[in-house]
Structure 1
């Protein structure tokens, strides 16, 4: 059973529509996929509607990747199978989304001041109907030939946390995020916690504090974690009693990572579904879920 619990669609900063994402996941031989767009659940309906048309079984796990900040360090919290209508969590997601447009506009202004001929119209075109974010600004830099890839834009010279063109936004305290997701019946997993190539990361002591506050797991197998880091995180998960997941963090053509490049153990997935009470995995085309 092949399970990928971290993907993005055009509802945020991916390049596949939710329906395309589901179809591509089935074509990649996946059995379970989680849709975890940034701070939004807007892609759910389209992804669910595409399931019956697949030619193989595929189960959809609904979720989101929540933008958080702890002691000045940005981090992402994967939330699975929560009730998307729970008002308190919905309100916080809306605050984050509403701040994305002025934030992106601020980054465009800073880039223009640095001599980069980027325009708001260009960034808005790239984002389309998606929840606008830094990757859309990064892709504009790629189009202009300023950097070679989206990843190359996430450096101090450009868009990394604290970088020359960085602009902050409303972000959740991760302890509050855990509380809100739990109250909505969901499960929380700290996304790519030691992805140092993305910038500053929180110390392991903070992960221990998050675990004590109810964090369910950490994303261990990820393209931004090298082998020693994965071993270190797996040991940390054991020590803290956390679930250890694996995921592609797929963004379509915006990144080179493939669907299913990293996967989650079926027993871990089963435990996630057992802990969740806010929503349930959606089987399509005769798909099944773990007990």
Structure 2
């Protein structure tokens, strides 16, 4: 299997190029992730869709943008009219993580739905940021005076205060305190990393090593020093028959973590690959 060549595709090159920008364009980078699954995807068509949605929001907020009116308009357009909603029936469908599918199917998970709210809001003059709330990604607006309004895109754009977010967390965790850092804004790179981690879990559960391999590769483009992703990409390569790529990644992992709990197991895997027994991996 030509894993080295597979890493040099158009979608990967596009994603790498976008990561070099400051700030990283969240909408374009999310579509670059989707391009690996959909090679014929035309990003401009979906960027135009976001533009059109934002124009509809803007028409409902004439004159200077007022946050309260803009937030209501955003909800009216995206939820009430477009029907954008959480996919309760098949939460772990990988299509929920691809921006083009979310826009086409009007279904998603918290992070991709929040991404749509963030990008449509930005175009309409409303600055929203992502929030890495545990287990349920949110967006938020911060007023010039520091007042925070959280938006739950998965539940129809419901607006919440910080206290309501804390109360929800406590109700879900049996009264545990919420670390305030989980209500802080996260960067586009962090949003992309969380999207990729979601896909990683889906493909690992499905034992889909081909897709798992490219997702891990994108994670490593975002965070080259992430040891777990380096190890897992090497193991996926080994299962796919790419011994050279597997050895390279696994030896790099051992160089970074020679005393890791699984180091001896990884060394044994490398030895097996070098002995030509990679096919025994399962």
Q: TM-score when scaled to structure 2?
A: 0.28
Which has more radius of gyration? 2
Structure with bigger helix share is 2
